[in-house]
Structures are given as structure tokens and as C-alpha cells.
């Protein structure tokens, strides 16, 4: 996701960012050199992984449950950003934006919304697993597919709501062969509405990483502590119960942490050390490089599907040629099959303790 001072995501090699007070303009030639190949790899890997995931969800899974529905929404979020990134690659290679005002607004909206949607949906998946393990009798675990659908709708509304104002403003800058599509970086040119919009984007960029990360760490620690406290702490069982949270935390750290850290660094320097040009240049360049990782989550999300859904994992393995299939995972005997089918491994592990937890809130 583009971040200050690099909201001008499509700025060409020859353009310069806006100077901060006494510092000369910052050259961003690195953006045009590094981002096109990195983004191209992101798109190729993301398309391959998510097309396979979409095929399995639509044609191989005979039964869906809430967890599957949350993962399917994550596939939709990935396809939205994969449809927008190629336009960015084209603009970087051409040196200017050729797709017009409407496509510029939609493109920025999709890119900014994808990060928020991916983070929110992955957090929901982790919380769903947390309740399955730590609170197996909670009514949250009796969620129907219709209720899961409404949860997904609510997540999407919360995600796109703060980004909708972006569609109301023209983000095209320059004219002729110098036309660019980018978020404002110069407050001298920006209206008050744009300044508020950029400030909102800054706040969301940080909060939508810190809060979900704290929740993910909480879920992981609680799952591990619960299983060990119940004398179910065999390494194999703990590893299987935690692998969803671990996979999601790993995606967070690789894809979103660098952008968040460099964004905070740029803001701090702009606010408190406006003449420290060396630090400003360093964080600007690091921020540019981190943009490529920001969209890598679309390529890594299929890994989350494999770890978080035994139904998906079994369907994927069953679709491979027999020679490529690994030894059957004993957890795949249940996984997250709906209640009308075989019990999940988590439910089987927790079965002995259900009598002494009968008083738990439903």
C-alpha cells in the first residue's frame, strides 16, 4: 500500500517527491527499478495460487462451513488487488498513467482496500480457530453459514467504508505524457479534504496492523497455554492447533510490518526532525522497497488456506497426481468438516474435557 511520503505510487524515475522544509527533493529512481519486477512476481504467484484456490473452493469442496466462507472472502480480496496491480506496473514501465481519472480512482481504492480486507479476514480466521480450541462450547462455534455470511459482509463494510471517500476526488496530476495517478504528497497543492483523507490513511495504516497483530499474538499464546494446561501439550498437537495463527502472523510480519515501520519512520522524521535529510531519504527508499512486499500477501494467502482448512488441504492433495501426494495427514480425518460429518481434530482432542466444562458460557 502506498504510504507517506510515497503515496505517488506511479511516480516515474524522473520525478521527485516533495521536499520536507529545507531538504532538497528526494529522488525515487529506485521505485521504477525495483517495483516492476517485484510486482510482476507478486501478480504471477498470486494468480497461480488463488486460481487454484478458487477452483478448489468452487469445484472440489462439497460442503462449506463458516471457516471456508471466511477463506473464500480472502480469495475475493486477493483477486481485487491482483486486478489492480498490473495497471501500476504498466504506469511504472510507461512513465505515465494512461487509463484516465475513473480508473485511477478505482485503482487506488482497490489497492488500499486490499490490505485492510486481507488483514481483517485473516484476523477473523484466527479468532475462529481460537474459539474452536479455547472455548469449544461457546455459541460462536455454532455459527451457521448464513451468520458467517453476515460477518463477512460486516467485515467488508468496515474495510471499504473509510476508503470510499477516495472515489470522490480526482487523483490525476500533470498533463499529456506526464499524467500521473497518485495520492497527494504536497500539502501546498492539496485541498483540506485531501489533507484529511491522507491523515485518515496514515492512521489506518498503523492501526490496522498493530491491533490485529496484538489479537493474533493473544490467540496464539492462549491456544498454546490452554492445550498445555489441559495436558494436551504434545508437540504435534500444539503445532497443529497453532499453525493457523503462526501462518497468519508470518504473513503479517513479512508483508505488512516493513511498510508500517517505514511509514512511522517517515512521519516521525517529518514531524520532529524535518531537517534530518539523510534519515528522511533512508526511510523513503526503504518505504519504496517495502511496497513490493505489501502485495506479496496475495501470493502467500493460499498457504493460509492450506494450514487453516483440512477440507481445503484434503481437496488439494486429492487433486494432485498420485506420485506427488504426501503421506496422509492424520488430522485430515476431520479438520473443519461441518457438524453433520466427521468431528474435527480439535473437537476430538477436546472431547474428554467437555463434561467438566459444561458450565462454560454458551
Instruction: Flag whether pLDDT at 153 surpasses 90.
Output: yes
| Cis bond before residue 188 (omega within 30° of 0) | no
pLDDT at 20 over 90: no
Give the per-residue pLDDT at 30. 65
The SS3 assignment for 326 reads coil
Span 197-218, average pLDDT: 83
Helix ranges (H only) for the chain are 29-55, 66-94, 100-134, 145-160, 192-229, 235-251, 257-272, 277-294, 297-308, 310-319, 345-350
Sorted by where each starts, the structural domains of the chain and their CATH numbers stand as: 29-315 (1.20.1070.10)
pLDDT tens for 265-324 read: 877 887 788 777 788 778 877 877 787 788 888 888 888 887 777 777 787 777 776 666
Q: How far apart are CA 140 and CA 128, in angstroms?
A: 8
The answer to whether residue 146 scores a pLDDT higher than 60 is yes
pLDDT digits (tens, 9 = 90+) for 77-112: 888 888 888 998 888 888 788 888 899 889 888 888
- The pTM score is 0.74
* CA distances (Å), origin 102, targets 106, 111, 163, 172, 192: 6, 14, 15, 9, 21
Please tell me the predicted confidence (pLDDT) of residue 190.
Answer: 56
Percent of the chain with pLDDT over 90: 7
> Does pLDDT of 174 surpass 70?
yes
Task: Let me know how long the chain is.
Answer: 362
Amino acid at each position: 500500500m502506498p504510504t507517506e511520503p510515497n503515496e505517488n505510487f506511479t511516480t516515474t524515475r524522473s520525478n521527485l517527491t516533495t521536499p520536507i522544509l529545507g531538504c532538497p527533493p528526494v529522488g525515487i529512481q529506485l521505485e521504477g527499478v525495483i517495483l516492476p519486477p517485484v510486482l510482476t512476481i507478486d501478480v504471477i504467484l498470486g494468480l497461480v495460487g488463488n486460481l487454484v484456490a478458487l477452483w478448489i473452493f468452487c469445484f472440489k469442496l462439497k460442503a462449506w462451513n463458516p471457516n471456508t466462507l471466511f477463506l473464500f472472502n480472502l480469495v475475493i480480496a486477493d483477486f481485487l488487488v491482483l486486478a489492480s496491480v498490473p495497471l501500476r506496473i504498466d504506469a511504472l514501465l510507461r512513465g505515465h498513467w494512461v487509463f484516465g481519472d475513473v480508473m485511477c480512482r478505482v485503482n487506488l481504492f482497490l489497492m488500499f482496500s486490499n490490505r485492510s480486507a486481507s488483514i481483517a479476514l485473516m484476523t477473523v480466521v484466527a479468532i475462529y480457530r481460537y474459539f474452536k480450541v479455547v472455548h469449544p462450547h461457546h455459541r460462536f462455534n455454532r455459527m451457521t453459514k448464513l451468520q458467517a455470511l453476515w460477518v463477512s459482509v460486516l467485515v467488508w463494510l468496515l474495510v471499504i467504508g473509510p476508503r470510499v471517500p477516495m472515489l470522490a476526488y480526482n487523483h490525476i496530476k500533470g498533463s499529456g505524457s506526464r499524467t500521473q495517478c497518485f495520492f497527494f504528497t504536497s500539502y501546498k497543492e492539496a485541498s483540506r479534504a485531501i489533507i484529511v483523507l491522507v491523515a485518515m490513511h496514515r492512521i489506518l495504516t498503523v492501526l490496522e496492523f498493530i491491533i490485529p497483530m496484538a489479537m493474533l499474538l493473544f490467540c496464539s499464546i492462549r491456544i498454546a497455554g490452554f492445550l498445555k494446561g489441559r495436558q494436551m501439550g504434545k508437540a504435534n498437537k500444539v503445532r497443529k492447533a497453532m499453525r493457523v495463527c503462526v501462518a497468519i502472523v508470518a504473513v503479517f510480519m513479512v508483508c505488512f510490518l516493513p511498510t508500517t515501520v517505514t511509514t512511522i519512520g517517515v512521519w516521525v522524521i517529518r514531524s520532529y526532525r524535518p531537517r534530518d535529510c539523510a534519515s528522511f531519504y533512508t526511510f523513503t527508499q526503504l518505504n519504496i522497497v517495502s511496497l513490493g512486499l505489501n502485495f506479496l500477501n496475495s501470493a502467500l494467502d493460499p498457504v493460509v488456506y492450506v494450514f487453516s482448512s483440512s477440507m481445503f488441504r484434503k481437496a488439494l492433495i486429492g487433486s494432485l497426481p498420485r506420485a506427488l501426494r504426501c503421506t496422509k495427514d492424520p488430522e485430515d480425518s476431520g479438520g473443519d468438516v461441518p457438524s453433520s460429518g466427521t468431528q474435527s481434530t480439535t473437537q476430538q482432542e477436546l472431547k474428554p474435557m467437555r463434561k467438566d466444562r459444561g458450565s462454560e458460557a454458551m
